[in-house]
């Protein structure tokens, strides 16, 4: 019943920026955390950034200082501001919603960093 709608993916040049957005809808009582994961072909899905309902954040070492995660608890949205993008950031990015012991996932949005 819960759905996640993502937007903001696309093609950018190295050094460019993108802002990913995700909005959760449906029967949501309480969200423990929201975050972004990514997966490139042939690689495992990895955590990019995560933010709890209390505002605590966690970032992958590879994106620290470049990416910023934010959320609006009232709107059940989470954004990922990506700056100084590198080719190695190329992947499908997935929005994640963690409610109690259940994880919900968005459809994924492609981010391609290439010149």
The pLDDT, as a whole number, for residue 1 is 80
Tell me how far apart the alpha carbons of residues 55 and 111 are, in angstroms, rounded to a whole number. Answer: 26
- As a whole number, mean pLDDT of residues 69-81 equals 91
DSSP letters spanning 71-108: EETTTTEEEEEE-S--GGG-EEEEEEEEETTEEEE---
pLDDT (tens digit per residue) in 61-74: 999 999 999 998 78
pLDDT (tens digit per residue) in 34-66: 999 999 999 999 999 999 988 999 999 999 999
Query: Token pair of 103, please?
Result: 């994880």
The pLDDT, as a whole number, for residue 32 is 85
Tell me how far apart the alpha carbons of residues 98 and 57 are, in angstroms, rounded to a whole number. Answer: 14
């Amino acid at each position: 019943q819960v759905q996640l709608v993502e937007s903001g993916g696309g093609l950018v040049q190295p050094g460019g920026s993108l802002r990913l957005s995700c909005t959760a809808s449906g029967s949501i009582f309480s969200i423990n955390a929201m975050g972004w994961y990514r997966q490139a072909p042939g690689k495992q899905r990895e955590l990019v950034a995560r933010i709890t309902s209390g505002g605590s954040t966690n970032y992958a070492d590879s994106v620290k200082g470049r990416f910023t995660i934010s959320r609006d608890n009232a709107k059940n949205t989470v954004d990922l501001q990506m700056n100084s993008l590198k080719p190695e950031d190329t992947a499908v990015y997935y929005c994640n919603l963690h409610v109690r012991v259940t994880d919900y996932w968005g459809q994924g949005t492609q981010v391609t960093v290439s010149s």
